[in-house]
Amino acid sequence: MTHVEQLLRGPVLEVAPAMLGWELSHDTREGHVTVRLTEVEAYAGEADPASHASRGRTLRTEVMFGPPRRLYVYFSYGMHWCANIVVGVDGEASAVLLRAGRVVEGMELARARRPPGTSERSLARGPACLTQALGIGKSHNGADLCGESPLTLTPGEPVSAISSGPRVGVSLAAEAPWRFWITGDETVSAYKRSPRAPA
């Protein structure tokens, strides 16, 4: 078992904030891009009504049930790809949604993948923007971040200040403070409460 996989095997509410400052890299024929994670959300599998896995195993959620270190990629609102890192122990379906990051390598390639005029702070600001900057899509669902994959996850130095609050856009368990971000970082996305969440 690799060092990274050992770190990912903890409870999702411990692993998610600890992943802030980690780097996700993707090598493609176009080139190399690395994003340093600045914002994430925790999803606790079958125990979490906001999780895709809340109703158990399906063809869509199979990857979430382990092993940890895999990438769970899904299509959101029929428009965008979003990426999660599977954590915890096999069978629990816990995952960490990658909400935002800072491009630290491959800036020009990341810019080319995003709309013209996108500011540097916004290249990977939001889960769909992050996958676009990294060139992540459907084919990367199930990718092993610790194995023979062009996607690699590298632990970073612990960050000095972490904030937490409700997750973005979820209608169930809307008050759970399971969104974590580097305090004051300009790449963190804006909070938007789901209009379907109870008042």
Question: Can you tell me the distance from the alpha carbon of 85 to that of 87, in angstroms, rounded to the nearest whole number?
Answer: 6
Given a cut of 80, whether residue 199 has pLDDT beyond it is: no
Q: Is the dihedral of CA 35, 36, 38, 42 positive or negative?
A: positive
pLDDT band, residue 76 (cuts 50/70/90): confident
Residue-wise DSSP of 171-199: SSSTT---EEEETT-TTSPPP---TTS--
Mean pLDDT of the chain, nearest integer: 94
pLDDT band, residue 10 (cuts 50/70/90): very high
pLDDT band, residue 81 (cuts 50/70/90): very high
pLDDT band, residue 78 (cuts 50/70/90): low
Percent of the chain clearing pLDDT 90 (strictly above): 80
Given a cut of 80, whether residue 1 has pLDDT beyond it is: no
pTM for this structure?
0.95
pLDDT for position 51: 96
Query: Hey, what domains does the chain have and what are their CATH numbers?
Result: 3-182 (3.10.300.10)
